[in-house]
Chains A and B, each alone.
Chain A
Amino acid sequence: MNAALEMRAVRRVHGSGPGAVTALDGIDLCVERGEFVAVMGPSGSGKSTLLQIAGGLSSPTAGDVLVEGRSLPSATAAQRAAIRRSSVGYVFQDLSVLPSLTALENVMLPLELDGLPFRSARETALEALEAVGIGDLADRFPEAMSGGQAQRVAIARGVVGPRRLLLADEPTGALDSRTGLEVIELLRARADAGAAVVLVTHEPRFAAWADRTVQLRDGRIIGQASPTDPGLLLAEPGGAWPR
């Protein structure tokens, strides 16, 4: 089975000539289905560019990006758009829900763009809202919701339907820490249910919910952290218990 996302030697240069900026410089990253990967790094390290390229919103200068085995750079613009709509879900910091649509209509939107009939789009969207715990707010407009609830709508829209790759760029940025944690729990649950999740964050406490944290600097992966055996770590002789 193909990985949900595979980036091979991805390079991205903004601009050209002496003013050119290398945003990504040889990224190799593979995210399996059911895997939750956090990406951390200082601002300007290439985190957001990585996410945009992973989702086909931007093209690499060199290298290849495969979503479920399909190469984005070698696809036509129309094919790329189709892959984006059918396989990739995005959640951004700025609560990108449409204020003139209800929660349900927001979540139905990508399904209807995919050509799903109204009735099944509605049914699928309702399930997605229930999955993120706000099925009862389906008919509410974003302005009548809390920040956390609106972010849940954005996540429901990101994961609705067959989307198996979920890309989240600082989804907790605008939220208080409690609501932020709820959003992370939700992403964790989506990964446990089989989705591949890539989360860009600057909060270690949220990154620690992932299966793996990838550390970026100057467009390169400089290291990775993943859980060892917590039992072993915590039973370290002496530990922090002073003697």
Chain B
Amino acid sequence: MEELTNKERMQIPRQKMPEQDPEKRKKNFKEVNLGFTEELAIKEAMRCLQCPKPVCISGCPVDIKIDEFIGLIAQGDFLGAAAKLKEDNALPAICGRVCPQEEQCEIKCVIGKKNDPVAIGRLERFAADYEREHTGIRKPEIKAKTGKKVAIVGSGPAGLSCAGDLAKMGHDVTVFEALHELGGVLVYGIPEFRLPKEIVRIEIESLKDIGVEFKTNSVIGFSDTIDELLENEYDAAFIGVGAGLPNFMRIPGENMIGVYSANEFLTRVNLMKAYKFPEYDTPVLNCKDKNVAVFGGGNTAMDAVRISKRLGAKNSYIIYRRSEVEMPARIEEVHHAKEEGIEFIMLTNPLEFIGDEEDWLKAVKLQKMELGEPDDSGRRRPIPIEGSEYVMDLDMTVIAIGNGSNPIIQKTTPDMEYNKWGNIVVDEETMKTSKKGVFAGGDIVTGGATVILAMGAGRVATKAIDEYIMNSSEW
């Protein structure tokens, strides 16, 4: 490979990832992003300056050796790059798709100060996809069996990352999942067009190949309590049960037919495949030629609204009480949504849902907002504008304003510390809870966050769990 000077590297523009045409994709559930070709990947990888002290790594919750794997791609060693990724990330094809790289690793990229940063996420996705498509996911090295057993509660990103790392250390790992399918939010929450379920399935298969055992239909707390797991079989437990019950806005009419929580709407469509009804038995209310509004400004809201378009909605709206700059959704998701014809109604808040005599949603009463002084979140507080109320026709709505915590663990494991929202309190250095032998991470600790933060928490816990079970240290 020819050596480029830094100046030459910086002259290469950030490579665009091919994607499905918006007009076509808004009618199907196939993946929107199509991934780099080999040529595009090498070209993009050449942009990396291979900094002696790569600051990008400091932005990665699982400390991927970003410079090294990108260097391998630049050399055309795609399998080597995939192996390098997997030293730190059990699920690179998933993270390459759903991590908010632009606010983690890529925001730190030094090129980004003047030009566009290196497309680290797209390169991660490329290397992982290349390996899967060409050789199948190869087994990483596994250390000798330790004879120690760890129970992981929840098969979402936190649990999977923890399970993968512990298995590589030689521990026996069992993952308990409440639903009938593995993957947690990766299968019930994130839609097919952003994260194909086949990719989730294959990455989970790769964990089975390294000895991780999975038990579906196991609601820990009910089928076994945390105490029973520890007493009967396991040396430690990690709780990664994710987000719980959906938040509502506490306005009149929220229990009408046609008002969904994001969790329910997404679960019906993604996990239960309602978009294939009647081939699949679970239905979702008809969106075809309807007016659909999604309340909220996060990635979940974007997922829900883009699904409604794919289900045939005439008009699909995002309605958000702040302005677009305050929206927590990834820029890429907002951009994709707009390309697909989603309409954004900003600085607007619902006051009341209006239905017919049988409680079917017909309209929503909205109120305009303006931005005031910054609030606790640092974002400018939305303030209602008196007299700006108006009514909009609506057939279906999805409320995507976050989740509370799942109450099952708390009810069945009372001798552990929780905060006032029911989230488990942990030591952030180790993910240790107040209960001996029990660690926790992901949304059950932080409240609604991202896949990669949950994986990062799983990763942090791994080290502490290994330390605890091997040295039987005090708590």
B and A form one assembly? no
Chain B residues within 8 Å of A, Cβ to Cβ: none
Chain A residues at the B interface, C-beta cutoff of 8 Å: none
